[in-house]
Amino acid sequence: MIENKQNLWELGDETQGDLLFYGYRDPILQWKDAIIPIVFDTIYTEEQREWIMKSLMEITSRSCIKFIPPLKGERDYVFITHHKKGCSSYIGKRGGLQILNLTPSKPGTDCFQTSVIVHEFLHVLGFIHQQSVPNRDDYVHILYDNIKPGKKKDFEKHVGSGKILNEEYDFLSIMHYSPYAKSKNGEKTIIPKNSSIVLKKNTKLSKMDVEKINKAYCNKPVPTSTTQDKIVINGSRSKTRASKL
């Protein structure tokens, strides 16, 4: 099935699959002191809440970001709820209560996949989809003839005045569409201009994702890691991308 080749968050009915509005606020606002207050809806079990917090350690263990309960009287926070079917979020800090939508499911499945939770919370931190960056046409072809009717708008570029954290395009980003995103016929909708690079469905934070989080919020280098990302070239994982700071 073509759905198995796509990220779950791509399949939603919202803008670009998982954005709770049409268009971008400009500028995208960041959270003060790298602290994101979060509140859980009572619909979630203790196991589900613990799973979300465990998943968020993918971010917190590699940056200065903190997801904590709001202080008394604090007005700006993320309310994790089942607002509607699927997995979706706003981009950046909106002010007041802002919804992050995760349909309840067994930990590790559907919206409760760690990759989906991390992806949605990167939206909360202010990150857009990688293929929406202004210079994406330098790196990928969008095959509009293969895109579902009414979904071409989901491939629009962000042309706001947001901070550019790294000019290098990240094919490995957890924020990148899969190559079959919004496909109407089982054919690819995104292909790299460099034919030696194989775009895939990304389910983990890339080193560059971590670098951007740290640049945006922590003003410090990426934590040292022995793991390096590798781009798939001609079917073999051979090109190493090291962090640059």
Alpha helices (H) along the chain: 46-60, 114-125, 207-213
Burial label, 64 (beta-carbon count in 10 A; 0-12, 13-18, 19+): middle
Q: ∠ CA 211-135-179 to the nearest 5 degrees? A: 80
Helix (H, G, I), strand (E, B) or coil at 153: helix
| Residue 174 CB contacts under 8 Å (≥ 6 apart), including other chains | 115, 118, 119, 122, 202, 203, 204, 205, 206, 209
53: left (phi over 0), alpha (psi -120 to 50) or beta: alpha
Q: Which structure tokens are listed for 162?
A: 């947001």
156 carries an active-site annotation? no
219: left (phi over 0), alpha (psi -120 to 50) or beta: left
Alpha helices (H) along 96-205: 114-125
Which of 10, 14, 58, 120 does the annotation list as catalytic? 120
123 in a labelled binding site: yes
Cα–Cα distance list, 146 to 79, 179, 210, 238 (Å): 36, 11, 32, 30
Question: Catalytic residues, which ones?
Answer: 120
Feature table: binding site for Zn(2+): 119, 123, 129
